[in-house]
Structure 1
Amino acid sequence: MIYFDNSATTKPYEAVLEAFVDVGRQFYGNPSSLHVLGGKAEKLLTKAREQIAHLAGAAPGEIYFTSGGSEGNNLAIKGTALMYRDRGKHIITTSVEHPSVREACEQLRALGYKITYIPVNKDGHIDPDDILHSMTDQTILVSVIHVNNEVGTIQPVTQIGKLLKKYPKVLYHVDHVQGAAKVPLDLHDSHIDICTFSAHKFHGLKGNGFVFIRKGVTIAPLISGGNQENGMRSGTENTAGIVAMAKAFRMAEEKRKSEMEKLLEIRTYLMNEFKKMPELLVHTPDEQAAPHIINVSCVGLKGEVAVHGLSEEGVIVSTTSACSSKDKTPSGTLKAMGVSDPVANGAIRISLSYENTMDEAKQMVDALQKVLARLTKVMRRNG
């Protein structure tokens, strides 16, 4: 099997799984307990927090553990809205956000908040000036995805952060879930206040993530109870998962430094091959795009049909975001980029990891050509 659905989830590294099992077996005490087992678990959490902070370019006190990207995005958006509702009720985001951002904003809209969605061009990029033009004295938050999860477009988050320095009362949130360990991001140089990460996007385990909250920034917690994570996120910490996440983040960062050239070569090969196929329309831009995501439409076909066809050939890809793939509706990201519904309905996403090889990419191209030829023949026969 060739696995090209890494933007949905990555396969955990073997060493990560081993770390999870070892910690779960030996250090099962509650980190909040006063006894010796609790103390040992707490020490592991402290060490993992320090490792993650170092890798993210933050201080340990700026790292808060969560269950993943969706919780982190909800915490950033709703936590800001709750904390600063007396200051204003205006949030600015983009038209190509992950559902966990978009739906959180829509929930707030139903509660009386105003949401402004910044448009994108045909490549999925926003114009930072559009954010400035949308600012009002009621604006409390700007939320921007760093790497789009469907097409791979990289937004100019550092430029946006520097522009927002003029608005010290406006918090700046970046969804870095798809960029972590693939597209470097300097949290402090980008003047980011809150940033979201998810372990299973960099070969950790599902159900683990963390949020960077810059020192001095205060937002309201969404989960109250035991006062864990300095009151920001109550609930007994998943010690084994957090330790495994720290290990996965370190290993993925090492891969980024040593394997990026290989990953880019595979992406370039696939992009060039896809552009040669008359049945395909490539949506991912050549410039300012992530090294691991390619989005194409199978013209005249449904994306899910192509996904099933490739699966029969032993190649695993997806249609849109895994969080939206069962909706049977055209990709909101592609529609925001000006893609028509019929073309958007034919979209598939190929997403790579450092574990993939050029040989797999060549096999994928052969399989896709075979699938497209077969499906086109059937379509002509039935049409």
Structure 2
Amino acid sequence: MAIYLDHAATTPLRSEVLEAMLPYLTEAYGNASSTHGFGRRARAALDEAHETIASRIGAEAREIVLTSGGTEALNLGLKGAAWAGKAHGHRIVISSVEHHAVGHTVRHLEKFGFEIVELPVDRYGRVDPDNVDAAITDKTVLVAIMLANNEVGTIQPIAEIANRVHAHRGVLLAVDAVQAAPHLEIDVTALGVDLLAMSAHKFEGPKGVGALYLRHGTHILAQQQGGSQERHRRGGTENVAGAVGMATAFGLAVAERAETARRMRRLRERLQKAVLAVDGTELTGHPKDRLPGHLSLIARDTDGTAVAVSLDLHGIAASVGSACTSGSTEVSHVLSAMGYPEEEARGALRLTLGRTTTEAEIDEAAGIIPSVIASMRIGAAAVAADPMGQGVPA
């Protein structure tokens, strides 16, 4: 059987979600800005999507900006808040393990005079709230820390970080919750966040749609002009079918979150026990404060890409890290920030479970993955012993 263990990259579209979307791809195709019946039906669906998404994170519908995905949501939030606050300050603080949707965005802002400060993390990839506090000056406008890491699954102490951030007047906290949204309870008030990004395809919704939570009263400058949609914060004709799909998927994910998390954690621990029994393997990320279905590891003396390719040939879909950097020859910036040397970081492997992962799949994977890793280590050792491939002299 084909076994999909790359749910952190994307998830399958739920049948209920497709069913909810279909009317808005066929007969209910009106533009939500139109005043006729077709448009009013589309507008009603769009408004309901805002309400559904907002209610599941303790927000108001007016605080939700629908986007084309998590990357756009983060770009809109970070750039919009930075430019809106430029008169207050030019300093932006991020962690050293942020997704490139954050890291590359703030580096772009650096070209326009913003100062970027990267905070260190511990061996598990966690940020120390004291370091956040120490990095904030009277010129700081924005702090961006992810809720859960996409590569190693570590969960950050966001509520505590928020307390430190908001002790400084005028500083905003932006949170990448793209990986966390389907797995962790999110209450924007309890977390204390000002901006928060999500992406539908991480919780069995459609690709190409996401959302930015923008706390009421928080000002951003729109980054996409051309219309008054999304309360003048994001111009362009709305993706009604995508919005309906995201709202439906998120509603289902939240309703089933606790039970799904318990089940995924149990299956992940079973797989983890089998894989970490192989010599030279080590769990990366926090051992307890991590996403329930997220297993990331280092297999020393192997090449993670080669292991992933071999697993694919055995019918198992896995990855070496972020899907957004697939094909890059660079070592993971996340593992580097966590203190792993390059030769170890190249042995990274990520196995991520989802709601649809079965016990039978985990049992089969638990038999295949350790043997593949072990064989790759033996092969690497043989090459190291005889790099020219000439064999042992007679």
Q: Same fold (TM over 0.5)?
A: yes
> Offset of 1:185 from its aligned partner?
2.2
In structure 2, what is the Cα distance between the partners aligned to 1:170 and 1:382? Answer: 54
After superposition, residues 58-137 of structure 1 pair within 5 angstroms as 58-137=59-138
Aligned to 1:214: 215
In structure 2, what is the Cα distance between the partners aligned to 1:294 and 1:260? Answer: 14
CA contact (8 A) 2:132 2:164 kept: no
In structure 2, what is the Cα distance between the partners aligned to 1:199 and 1:286? Answer: 27
Which deviations, in whole Å up to 9, do the C-alpha atoms of 1:288-311 show, x marking residues without a partner?
A: 111121111221111110001101
SS of the equivalent of 1:184 reads: coil
Aligned to 2:8: 7
CA contact (8 A) 1:255 1:354 kept: no
> Offset of 1:163 from its aligned partner?
2.0
Aligned to 1:314: 315
After superposition, residues 131-146 of structure 1 pair within 5 angstroms as 131-146=132-147
Aligned residue pairs, count: 383
- Amino acid aligned to 1:114: E
In structure 2, what is the Cα distance between the partners aligned to 1:293 and 1:238? Answer: 31
Which deviations, in whole Å up to 9, do the C-alpha atoms of 1:99-126 show, x marking residues without a partner?
A: 0100011111121111111100001111
In structure 2, what is the Cα distance between the partners aligned to 1:334 and 1:40? Answer: 48
Aligned to 2:364: 363
Deviates more, 1:92-101 or 1:107-116: 107-116
In structure 1, what is the Cα distance between the partners aligned to 2:298 and 2:364? Answer: 19
> Offset of 1:381 from its aligned partner?
3.5
In structure 1, what is the Cα distance between the partners aligned to 2:341 and 2:363? Answer: 30
* Percentage of matched positions with identical amino acids: 34
Which deviations, in whole Å up to 9, do the C-alpha atoms of 1:136-158 show, x marking residues without a partner?
A: 11000011000000000000001
Deviates more, 1:358-367 or 1:215-224: 358-367
SS of the equivalent of 2:56 reads: helix
CA contact (8 A) 1:279 1:372 kept: no
- Amino acid aligned to 2:277: K
Aligned to 2:163: 162
In structure 1, what is the Cα distance between the partners aligned to 2:269 and 2:374? Answer: 23
Aligned to 1:17: 18
In structure 1, what is the Cα distance between the partners aligned to 2:324 and 2:84? Answer: 28
CA contact (8 A) 1:128 1:160 kept: yes
> Offset of 1:279 from its aligned partner?
3.4
In structure 2, what is the Cα distance between the partners aligned to 1:272 and 1:377? Answer: 21
In structure 2, what is the Cα distance between the partners aligned to 1:194 and 1:181? Answer: 17
> Offset of 1:22 from its aligned partner?
2.3
After superposition, residues 109-258 of structure 1 pair within 5 angstroms as 109-258=110-259
Deviates more, 1:279-288 or 1:192-201: 279-288
SS of the equivalent of 1:271 reads: helix
Aligned to 1:30: 31
| Structure 2: gaps of 5 or more residues | 385-394
In structure 2, what is the Cα distance between the partners aligned to 1:87 and 1:168? Answer: 10
Deviates more, 1:274-283 or 1:76-85: 274-283
CA contact (8 A) 1:303 1:347 kept: yes
In structure 2, what is the Cα distance between the partners aligned to 1:119 and 1:17? Answer: 42
| Structure 1: gaps of 5 or more residues | none
CA contact (8 A) 1:10 1:201 kept: yes
Highest CA radius of gyration, 1 or 2?
Answer: 2
SS of the equivalent of 1:323 reads: helix
> Offset of 1:271 from its aligned partner?
2.4
RMSD: 1.2
